[in-house]
Amino acid sequence: MFRTRPLVSLPLGASFRHQLNVALPFRQLAAASVPTTTSRLYATTGASATTISEAIKKDHSELTSYYNEIINSNDHDHQERFGNQFTWELARHSVAEELIVYPAFESHMGKEGHMMAEDDRKAHHRVKELLKEFQNLKPKQEDQYVPKLKELWQELAAHIEDEEANDLPKLEAALQKIEQQREGGMGQGISASESMAKKFGLTKAFVPSRSHPSAGENPYFESAMGMLAAPIDHIADIFRKFPDNTISPNPSTK
Ligand SMILES: [Fe+2]
Ligand SMILES: [Fe+2]
């Protein structure tokens, strides 16, 4: 038997840490509370991040490590746990960028920002299509599981590189400009980038944790349709295998 706990809908005003925890898979809740070496794997974006760039790069680096765990292993159980972890992290990261980061490109960087956001949404859609295929595979399907992940990674790695090398430096520069223009001057409280990093972390707690490419990448569409999938994803996550757990997986391939 295992205990469950509310997965969504903490009241506004609850601490940031609590709001993040509600969307963590069951095993990660336990891991997060025990300071073991492996628990570092489960650190969540936003809690300790300073800027939005740091928060996003931290996610990218976690995704890279999960990817490597899968492709460098022949153990199906290990691959399944990290495959679920990879899916969980990538799905939430993608939607949170679409809700928080890409609209900021459009708001603060004019025409160039709109083009950047459009390119990134297209890249996300390609990756989400592949993630939907990958999340429904099992490692025992050896001829498909790792090859599909590698196919996805080729798209994702190029997108990550573009975000880190081009998009994020431009966003930070635009946010800094806003800071400088803000009435009251610099050094007053939290910066625009830090504030965005917090919103990014909070958003990840409430978005779907599986890929739903049919919900689209437009933030408003995502909130109307993709969000309906979030509670279902979060409940099904309880039954999936994640790193460092022994609970049987749910056969659901929703
Ligand atoms: Fe992205
Ligand atoms: Fe990203």
Q: Locate the domains of the chain by residue range.
A: 50-238
- What CATH architecture applies to the domain 50-238? Up-down Bundle (1.20)
Ligand nearest the Cα atom of residue 98: 1
- CA 170–ligand 2 middle distance (angstroms): 14
Helical axes 76-96 vs 110-135, angle rounded to 10°: 150
pTM of the predicted protein model: 0.77
Name the pLDDT band for 227 (thresholds 50, 70, 90). confident
How far apart are the CA of 97 and the centre of ligand 2, in A? Answer: 7
Residue 71 has pLDDT above 80, yes or no: yes
47 — pLDDT class (breaks 50, 70, 90): very low
Instruction: Please state which of the ranges 46-55, 86-95, 124-133, 180-189 shows the lowest mean pLDDT.
Output: 180-189
- Paired tokens of 220: 């408003």
Q: Render the burial of 158-177: b for 16+ CB within 10 Å, e for the rest.
A: ebbeebeeebbeebbebbee
Between the CA of 160 and the centroid of ligand 2 the distance, in Å, is 6
| Ligand 1 center to 1 CA (angstroms) | 38
Confidence of residue 226 (pLDDT cuts 50, 70, 90): confident
